[in-house]
Every structure is written in structure tokens, then in C-alpha cells.
Amino acid sequence: MLLLKKTGFPEDSELVLCTVTSVQSHSVFVNVEEYGLSGMIHISEVSPGRIRNIRDFVKEGKVVVCKVLRVNTERGHVDLSLRRVTDAQKRSKINDIKQEQKAEKIIEVVAAKLKRDAKKLFEELAEKIHREYPSIYSCFMDVAEDKASLSKLKVEKEVADELTAAIKARVKPSEVAIRGDLKLVSYAADGVEVIKAALKKVVDSGAEVQYIRAGKYKVVVKAANYKAAEQIIERASMDAINYVGGHDGSGEFVREE
């Protein structure tokens, strides 16, 4: 679980990570981990359709992703839904939590190196980072990609220097990948060499080529964003197609959706 708790209350429809603390006949009680609050899931919000035994779906100690339905600020209580969370939302939320845990681990390592109290350092950094970023990890990603400076966020120099070094060592810059199938054929006498030269143009453009079968190849491009990846894969495929087209051949590129 996350070491740092969010202050206040979650917003309606927010996705939150919860731990089941008690299962009753018509309701499930949980701890909303990120906020340190108690919450309840009514049986009608556990799963669609009729539920004969609520324990077929949840058990004490199980960690679940829930959607916030209502918040009672006076009681400090949250009404939640389990059934309204899609698989994609669940995966995304769990990934976000893992990223924050990774960020906290980096801070913990830096705190130990500087002989600082880890929790206190967490809190000091979170206060500064959350003024500009929704999460600590999103800030760390920008630092890893040289898009942000901890010093500009008013983090003291000693901490900023050690933390920046640790981030660059442990956080990989974001990367996207797009793929497509490239078909090439040449009827020239040296057709094999023509295809090899065409594929070299693909590689030289910054793409990867994987053999599928004779005349068909998988082209993979990885880049910092989709716009850059699209430009590379378009240039790489067209270079190859134009080359074989000029050597008694033809080509076709089909992008994977």
C-alpha cells in the first residue's frame, strides 16, 4: 500500500484502491487505502445480476478497485461500487498505484542515503510536487525525460541532486510502440538483394524489422509519443516500398490497429 495518504475526501466517480475489512450478508466494508477512510459497498453494487452468496465475489483482506458513488463528509464515510469498474479501469488504477509505489521506493532510497526520515521527506516532496503534478510518479517521468527540474519545484539542492540521479537510474522515459505488416516483392534478377536493401532502409529509419514469412515482415517503431512513431513508421515503410518499386517490384504496408 501507499505510504502517503491523500488528504480530504475522494470525488464522486473517482477510482480508489480499497481493502475489504468485513463481509456482511448485504454489504461489504472496506478501507479506502489512499485516503485512510472507511467505505461500504452495498450488495447491489458488488456485481451485476443476482448474488446468492456475496462471499463468492469478495473476502476479507482482498484488495479491490472501486468507484466512488457518494461521500458523507460529516461521517467520513464513502459509498462505493465494485460492479461499475471496468477491467480496463481496474488495470489502469492498479498500474497507477504501482507507479506511485515505485516513486516512493526511490524517495526511500534517497532518504536512506541522505540519512533523512523517509516519511518526512515523502511529505515534504509531495507538498511541493502536488502543486504542479497529480502524482509523484508523473513528476518523476518528466524529470527522467528532462522536461522538469526538481530545483524549480523548490526542492532543496541536496535532495534534488540525489533524487534526480536516482530517478534517471530507475525510471525509463515513456515509450509507445506501433506496428504494421510490410509486404515486399521484387521480380528483378537480383530480387533478394533488392529486398535486403529495402529492409535496410527501414532499419536505418529507426524501425525494427521482424521476419514473418517470405515477402512479409513485421515493422515495429518505438518512440516517446505516437506522433513521432507515426512519422518514423510512415517514412520507413514508404522508403522501402519506393525502393522496390524502382527495382521491378512492389510493396504494401498495413498498419496494425
Tens digits of residue pLDDT in 117-160: 998 999 999 999 989 998 899 999 999 988 899 999 999 999 99
Answer whether 15-85 and 88-170 agree in fold: no
Query: Domain coordinates of the chain in residue numbers?
Result: 15-85, 88-170, 176-255
User: What is the pLDDT averaged over residues 51-63?
Assistant: 94
pTM of full prediction above 0.85: no
**pLDDT over 90 (residue 2):** no
Beta-strand relationship, 63-72 and 37-42: unpaired
Torsion of CA 186, 192, 198, 202, to 10 degrees: 130
pLDDT at 76: 85
Q: Give how far the C-alpha of residue 44 lies from the chain's centroid of Cα atoms, to the nearest Å.
A: 31
Give 15's contacts (C-beta < 8 A, 6+ positions apart). 65, 66, 67, 68, 85, 89, 92, 93
CB count within 10 Å of CB 112 equals 11
pLDDT at 169: 93
CATH topology for 176-255? Alpha-Beta Plaits (3.30.70)
CATH 1.10.3720.10 fits 88-170, yes or no: no
Q: How confident is the model at residue 174 (pLDDT cuts 50, 70, 90)?
A: confident
CATH topology for 15-85? OB fold (Dihydrolipoamide Acetyltransferase, E2P) (2.40.50)
Provide the mean pLDDT of the chain: 92
